[in-house]
Structure 1
Amino acid sequence: MPYYDGVELSSTYADASERGYGFFASNVTHVDVLLGLLQGADSADSDLVVQVNRKIAAAFGNGDATVGLNAFAAYIERVADSVDVGVFCNVDHVHLPNQADFLDAVAESGVPSSVMVDASDTSFEENVELTREAVERLDEADGEMLVEAELGRVAGVEGDVETATEDAFYTDPERAVEFVERTGCDLLAISVGTQHGVASGQDLDIRPDVARAVRDALDDAGFDVPLVVHGSSGLTDEQVRAFVDAGVRKFNKNTRYQYEFARTLADFYRDHADAVRPPEGVVDDRADFFGDADWSPDRTYFHPQAAAEAVQDRIAAVYGGLADLTGSAGRSRHGRR
């Protein structure tokens, strides 16, 4: 299926709201993560939202975030044709005002389906002003790119920005209505007690009731704006289901995929260490590639694609389970029915 823009993404979120399901929007830090997500979404018959932030865009662009964003977009537009589901891209956490230059590059590129602008670490009034300016800038440049904003602070580290746990707070429903009305944002990320990064062992007070209260307040005011939860890697299945029931349609997930990538590689090379590292008594002559040794490494296992396929398979399996969890499995609006 083709890669889709914000108009189709808006319709996809509307369908999720009407039918009561959600999506895990998945950050891509490596091409094998992307390919695994595409495979998993295709197998699950779930439309797919992938995400990239400025730091990772810079990595894809050899240090230049604008080059990386355009390269990533060109790649995903091509590989999306290989699957039978809708594929969308969100640019995640463009921190304002210090990343305004990157927002300009995003606007000029016209490639993402949506953009998440983040001024949540500023005052309410400054958050409103910066978000409204971003909405106007993106509407003027493209007109089809959705804008996600954040009201409330999520603890943890996102990109290079850290929010202390004591600085996090829950989103107020009345303020959420005012924020949406004054900014014109298309999606709203709210603070419900989650945390960016690894949340295991943290004393988090997860509050689906806050999401429900914000959803009800927006509905009463006539704003059909999908709600977003950031920092979802540490949520239990029961908590995710509770948030879906409370009206959350988009969950951001990043750390889990990073862990699965590293863990799969660690397990793969541990299991095949004898094929990659010389045994005891054999000189580790990497410079001459063991030309004088009785032992040689096994290309079956040191070929990068062997480990890459293991990573892709694992990411695909993880995404399939997540699509089942949020109810998006079997509900692609753009693929088979």
Structure 2
Amino acid sequence: MTLVNLASVLRQAEAGGWAVGAFNCNNLELVQAIIRAAEAEAAPVVLQASQGAIKYAGLGYISLLALEAARTARVPVVVHLDHGTSFEQVIRCLRAGFSSVMVDGSHLPFDKNVALTRRVVETARPVDVSVEAELGRIGGTEDDISVDDRDAFFTDPEEAEHFVRATGVDALAVAIGTAHGLYRGTPQLDFDRLARIRDRVRGTPLVLHGSSGVPADAVREAIGLGIRKVNIDTDIRQAFTGKIREVLAQAPEEIDPRKVLGPAREVAVEVIRGKIRLFGSSGRAGDI
């Protein structure tokens, strides 16, 4: 298989009633873990780079890692910008070879979010790059983006309809009660709101951010109500760093990074495989 755009995956996800897993790639080991898990499950997958990953590793390194993974993988791979904050950053990712971008104008007034998103769509679509946008703000912190609980607000179904018509986006991230980072309790998702959004924007796949820590039953219900892309990061980070701590506790004199990071990579593979099965995308690689 090879590099594909997000729209091609979401069309099949919509037809089959499943969701594609989108996993953050912060370093070599996590890129490898994501691809190994997707291949083991015969599933399409989204490798996405966040603001923090690009800042940490550099766009050049991240894009080369992700694009090499896509080139050699035996499953369809989307290389995606997660939470792009400006038109200029989107352009840099397009030039780097990303097949999908998210432009996050959710912090802007509605009209300005529409204008920014439409400009990105008009630029990306001619080069066959998909565009995801966000309406409503998702609480918590992801890398350099932070939204206090009191400032987070849910997506309005009527606004969602106007937004997708005005922008023509390929996917819409909605705020229905999830948050980035660790939860202080069990998240309560607003499924009634999700159903109303789906009814208003039929034909536009929906995205659930901040899905780490959301109970499996809630994820399944969200997918049943139109979620077609599910973002996971914190669950993988916890498993990865937890294994590193375990290895170093057992062998405090170990100095070979491969012997520390290798076991962490394998734990991440198992976490990602479990998410792929939960999302219903196992065995779907041949559909793309």
Q: TM-score range by the shorter chain?
A: over 0.9
Displacement of 1:123: 1.3
Superposition pairs of residues 51-90 of structure 1, within 5 angstroms: 51-61=48-58, 68=59, 70-90=60-80
CA distance in 1, matches of 2:207, 2:248: 37
Partner of 2:9: 12
Superposition pairs of residues 158-197 of structure 1, within 5 angstroms: 158-197=142-181
Partner of 1:102: 89
CA contact (8 A) 2:31 2:65 kept: no
- Provide the secondary structure at the position in 2 that maps to 1:122: coil
1:263 aligns with 2:242: yes
CA distance in 1, matches of 2:145, 2:196: 28
1:230 aligns with 2:195: no
Q: Which string of whole-angstrom CA distances, capped at 9 and with x for unpartnered residues, describes residues 119-168 of structure 1? A: 111111121112112222323xx521111000111011122121111222
- Provide the secondary structure at the position in 2 that maps to 1:156: strand
Partner of 1:122: 108
Of 207, 223, 236, the residue aligned with 2:190 is 207
CA contact (8 A) 2:134 2:172 kept: yes
- Provide the secondary structure at the position in 2 that maps to 1:25: strand
Of 230, 242, 257, the residue aligned with 1:304 is 257
- Provide the secondary structure at the position in 2 that maps to 1:92: strand
CA distance in 2, matches of 1:24, 1:200: 24
CA contact (8 A) 1:25 1:49 kept: yes
Q: Which string of whole-angstrom CA distances, capped at 9 and with x for unpartnered residues, describes residues 49-101 of structure 1? A: 1100233113222xxxxxx2x33222333233443211111101012xxx333
Identity %: 31
Return structure 1 stretches of 4+ with deviation > 6 angstroms. none
**Counterpart of 2:147 in structure 1: which amino acid?**
T
Q: Which string of whole-angstrom CA distances, capped at 9 and with x for unpartnered residues, describes residues 162-183 of structure 1? A: 1111222221212111100111
Partner of 2:37: 40
**Counterpart of 1:250 in structure 2: which amino acid?**
K
Q: TM-score, normalised by structure 1?
A: 0.81
Indicate the structure (1 or 2) with the bigger Cα radius of gyration: 1
Partner of 2:283: 330
Partner of 1:244: 223
**Counterpart of 1:234 in structure 2: which amino acid?**
G
Query: Which ranges in structure 2 are unaligned for 5 or more consecutive residues?
Result: none
The alignment covers a number of residue pairs equal to 288
Q: Which string of whole-angstrom CA distances, capped at 9 and with x for unpartnered residues, describes residues 264-316 of structure 1? A: 1001111223xx1xxxxxxxxxxxxxxxxxxxxxxxx5321112220111111
Query: Which ranges in structure 1 are unaligned for 5 or more consecutive residues?
Result: 62-67, 277-300
Give the stretch that moved more between structures: 166-175 or 37-46: 166-175
- Provide the secondary structure at the position in 2 that maps to 1:75: helix
Of 120, 131, 140, the residue aligned with 1:134 is 120
CA distance in 1, matches of 2:192, 2:287: 32
Of 122, 145, 148, the residue aligned with 2:129 is 145
CA contact (8 A) 1:36 1:311 kept: no
Give the stretch that moved more between structures: 315-324 or 158-167: 158-167
**Counterpart of 2:280 in structure 1: which amino acid?**
G
CA contact (8 A) 1:86 1:334 kept: no
**Counterpart of 1:271 in structure 2: which amino acid?**
Q
CA contact (8 A) 2:236 2:272 kept: no
**Counterpart of 2:192 in structure 1: which amino acid?**
D
CA contact (8 A) 2:141 2:181 kept: yes
